[in-house]
Chains A and B, each alone.
Chain A
Amino acid sequence: MTVELRVAEGWLTVCELEALIPGRGVAALLPDGSQAAVFIDRQGRPYAISNRDPFTGAQVLSRGLIGCAEGRPFVASPLLKQRFDLSSGRCLDDDGVAVRTYPVRTAATS
């Protein structure tokens, strides 16, 4: 199985599913030079959001810890600990802030 992410050019293969540890993320470099943070949760569901922490500008969200609030998975930024909902990109600690999300899927390796 591979993890794929949809970008302007179409579906982009990011890595093998085994490369992901449940509860942790990895960073992926996208064709336009931007960066995505890709995670899987305990159930093996993948998520992808922008890797850029909007509070500091650093590309670090992939290095945060995943947690669960009201049944929805989030990642806590490793820098100043603001939490971001993994499905919507919304910041749970500041209504005015959100990061972009990417459609993501797992696909059988051909």
Chain B
Amino acid sequence: MSNPQSPPPAGRPSLVLVGHGMVGQRYLEALAERGATATHAITVLCEEPRPAYDRVHLTSYFSGTSAEDLSMTPAGFMAEHGIELHLGDPAVAVDREARTVTSRSGRVVPYDVLVLATGSYPFVPPVPGKDSPGCFVYRTVEDLLAIEEYAKDRATGAVVGGGLLGLEAAGALQGLGLATRIVEFAPRLMPAQVDDGGGAALLRTIESMGLTVHTGVGTQEVLADAPDGSVTGMRLSDGSTLATDLVVFSAGVRPRDQLARDCGLEVGERGGIAVDTRCRTSDPHVYAIGECALASDGRVYGLVAPGYEMAETAADDLLGREREFTGADLSTKLKLLGVDVASFGDAHGATEGSLDVVYSDSRAGVYKKLVVAPDGRLLGGILVGDADSYGLLRPLTGSVPPAAPEQLVLPAGIGAPAALGPASLPDDAIICSCHNVTKKAIAACATLPEVKKCTKAGTGCGGCVKVIGQLLPPPAEKGLCACFAYTRAELYEIVRTLRLTSYDQLLDSHGREAARGTDGCEVCKPAVGSIIASLAPTIGASGYVLAGEQAALQDTNDHFLANLQRNGSYSVVPRIPGGEITPDKLIVIGEVARDFGLYTKITGGQRIDLFGARVDQLPQIWSRLVEAGFESGHAYGKALRTVKSCVGQTWCRYGVQDSVRMAIDLELRYRGLRAPHKLKSAVSGCTRECAEAQSKDFGVIATANGWNLYVGGNGGATPRHADLLAQDLSDAELVRLIDRFLMFYIRTADRLERTSAWLERLEGGLEHLRDVVVHDSLGLCAELEALMADHVAGYRDEWAETLDDPDRLRRFVSFVNAPGAPDPTVKFVPEREQVKPDLAVLQISPSPSLEPLGGTR
């Protein structure tokens, strides 16, 4: 044979992947994560002219997403993992005896392991005229490009098939400006997902968008009567004809199993490469994954999530690790043409004796059906037009819901409200998906620490902690912690009125009996430290956080005036008020980062974070920064973080006030202010709100007459839009009102309670707040302003002060008995031309996420 033969792999087993689609790429990533890209020589044959992309979001191409945006293959991925990728070169034959794959270009690649991930192809019904110019399918970027090109000077289009993909294609054609029809053989749209009622609701909504729908008719012929033989219309099964310039076939997909058939692998009766629970085909050297595979439960899965699970399974199996794919849930929630559609469980009521509960409002295009067993268990359902309850209904499947089914389908506001919340979830509902912990296991515990200890729930990404909190019994009493029976607000008053400047003093006089004289705990120490710091100038304590006993109260971040990172190194964030910075200062930051080898990143707070400093380097780094005029950014403290700004009136054609100046003024005024939680702010120069002020604890938006002040906003895990507190304020009025607001918050909020949660909890809410800080209903305002004046007068930069004091500097060493020695476990490895922590020296594998919410920031 004269075909070029790739050189035999040098010792490493060779793996050939045929098909680089969504599942193929996931498989490669699974191999990389498991280190198998290093131990195997991998070749990928890809039919399409581009590497794997996000087929699920194909349609978004028409709304402006570029083909590059859709890519799922990280730049450099193939090179980094030594994978050979051949674009536009499909496999045409497999020789299982010789264990080689031949590609269209004539490449012959030997394999030890072959993985087929060839996906599926759109089924085109065998009607006359189906191959005429103007006929298309809808599967690849190339299909889209061709449709777009052809549609340029045409006016009408038709889609054959009213299923999920057909509706997507129809939406796309309409988006291209074509008058669009949908022709569906079944009596309703989306026949596989919804029933007649759902189809009717869908039909109404889709027709109201200006599309024409023909159901219950088949396509008999594509008419191609144009002089050049291109499409002019369609003849339907009811004998009627309709005119159209373009036809898109979307009548279902079929697994691409030809390659497998040709080499004698077992395939299913209705197609699909047969695989076992480990995704192996009838030849143990060959795997099949994704849409081309017929899973062990006799199904071909046309969704991407099951395909991903197969990819993980096959990757584990390659490494001899136990894992099985035995089938997947077909529940889906989609947004098609702007309509929410969800179906779950036994949506069509196939279970014997099952009963339906249906709510339908065709005016609003809403249809909801629940399928219930005679014993009341929820079996499944269909939601069209309003699928908000999908998230709670799906986990309820298989159990008797807490409310009558008819209540569950009624829209909010009609009839009795359905008691749906975490409490209503069944015992076996998975609450923590990181560690697969059920509601039952959580309910067996009394406190969050107990939950974490017994079940590990909440110790992964932390995303479930909120729901766990709602499942636990409310704390018996309100005290701050095991040491104090008082709340933070009460402790604040005690410290303020008794002028207590020491934690030990407070613990011994006001702590719980058992806690007096002890070492306290890690909860109340920083909280009390923060109260003393907020009040320092007023009660006569030192405002410096590392002074005397104060030093022992601070979390490590405050103690070292920097943010602790996962490998024990620290990050450094100099303050950049309002986000405004001179080129010279930028250069200093760059030089410092370069000289100390720090990873550099622009933060979400309009400033620059320098990562990877050893504790003993912090003073050296800061002496350079302080010399250049930088101050601490308090990125480590429960304190003012940043006041973001937009460029505002000075440059922006829309700006009505100087938002940058105001942001700088506010940031400098409140810098260093210790609070129950971090404080963030922003100032926008006009109502376009480029600085996102309404997501901040206090946000300011310019008006033609002054400033509007918004309070209680929050980004983060539980976003909250800020409330408008007062309008059209002058500079002085604005500052005075913020002074009062902040001091009232600091005085009355709980530990780690952001202004958003505080405002939600405050009795009387915004109105009460306005009474207190605007109308002075409690007669507190003069005092609040005086407290802030004390703070402003007492402010000193913590880093400048630290550098001035040799005693304090002595703490910045890695080892007390070897002050000059660096910590050998703080090491770095290269990453994208910078560095990242070397976790290998810590002798522990990286855990996916170790950042419980309510952390140290």
Nearest B residue to A39 via CB reads: B519
Give the chain B neighbours of A35 by CB distance below 8 A: 815, 823, 825
A76 contacts B by Cβ under 8 Å: yes
Min Cβ gap A19→B in Å is 6
Chain B contacts with A in 446-463, Cβ cutoff 8 A: 449, 452-453, 459
User: Is the CB–CB distance between A60 and B568 below 8 Å?
Assistant: yes
In the complex the two chains form, what is the Cα distance from A15 to B825 in whole Å? 22
CB <8 Å contact, B821 and A29 = yes
- Give Cα A28–Cα B815 distance, bound, in whole angstroms: 5
- Do B843 and A68 have beta carbons less than 8 Å apart? no
Do A67 and B525 have beta carbons less than 8 Å apart? yes
Query: Taking the nearest CB of chain A, how far is it from the CB of B748, in angstroms?
Result: 25
Q: Which of A1-29 contact B (CB under 8 A)?
A: 12-15, 19, 21-24, 26-29
A67 to B567, CA, bound (A): 24
- A81 proximity list for chain B (CB < 8 A): 522, 852
Asked if B564 contacts A63 (CB within 8 A), the reply is: yes
Closest to A80 in B: B850
User: If A38-B816, A57-B843, A68-B518 touch, does A93 touch B555 (CB 8 Å cutoff)?
Assistant: no
Residues of B within 8 A of A19 (CB): 810, 816
Partner of B825, one of A55, A58, A78: A58
Within residues 435 to 488 of chain B, which ones have a CB less than 8 A from any CB in chain A? 449, 452-453, 459, 482
Query: What residue of chain A has the Cβ atom nearest to residue B529's Cβ?
Result: A65
Which of B519, B568, B852 meets A68, CB within 8 Å?
B519
Chain B, residues 812-830, CB within 8 Å of chain A (1/0): the string is 0011111001011110000
Write out the residue numbers on chain B whose beta carbons fall within 8 Å of the beta carbon of A85: none
Within 8 Å by CB of B839, from A23, A57, A73, lies A57
* CB nearest to A41 among chain B residues: B519
Nearest CB on B from A47, distance (A): 11
A64–B556 touching, CB < 8 Å: yes
Determine whether B405 belongs to the interface, using a CB cutoff of 8 Å to chain A: no
Residues of the A chain whose Cβ atoms lie less than 8 Å from the Cβ of B517: 42
Q: Are A59 and B568 in contact (CB under 8 A)?
A: yes
> Across the interface, do A14 and B816 meet the contact criterion of CB distance under 8 Å?
yes
B185 at the interface (CB under 8 A from A): no
Number of residues from A at the complex interface, CB < 8 A: 42
User: Inter-chain contact count A-B, CB under 8 Å?
Assistant: 118
Query: Smallest distance from the beta carbon of B799 to chain A beta carbons, Å?
Result: 18
Q: How far is the CB of B481 from chain A (nearest CB, A)?
A: 9
B551 at the interface (CB under 8 A from A): yes
In the complex, how many residues of chain B place their beta carbon closer than 8 angstroms to a beta carbon of chain A?
46
Pick from B519, B824, B826, B842: contact of A67, CB under 8 Å: B519
Question: Cβ of B350: which chain A residues have Cβ within 8 Å of it?
Answer: none
Candidates A27, A41, A63, A71; contact of B559 at CB < 8 Å: A63
Contacts of B551 in A (CB 8 A): 21, 24
Contact A66 B519 (CB under 8 A): yes
Q: Name the contact of B824 in the complex, choosing from A14, A24, A33 (C-beta under 8 A).
A: A33
Q: Once the chains bind, are A78 and B564 in contact (CB under 8 Å)?
A: yes
Q: What is the bound-complex CA distance between A13 and B817, given in angstroms?
A: 8
CA distance A59 to B568 in the complex (A): 6
Q: Is B522 a contact of A57 with CB atoms below 8 Å?
A: no
**Is A79 close to B, CB under 8 A?**
yes
| B580 contacts partner chain A, Cβ-Cβ < 8 Å | no
Residues of A within 8 A of B559 (CB): 24, 63
Q: Verify B521–A58 contact, CB threshold 8 A.
A: no
Q: Which residues of B contact A (CB under 8 A)?
A: 449, 452-453, 459, 482, 504, 515, 517-523, 525-526, 551-553, 555-557, 559-560, 564, 566-568, 810, 814-818, 821, 823-826, 839, 842-844, 850, 852, 856
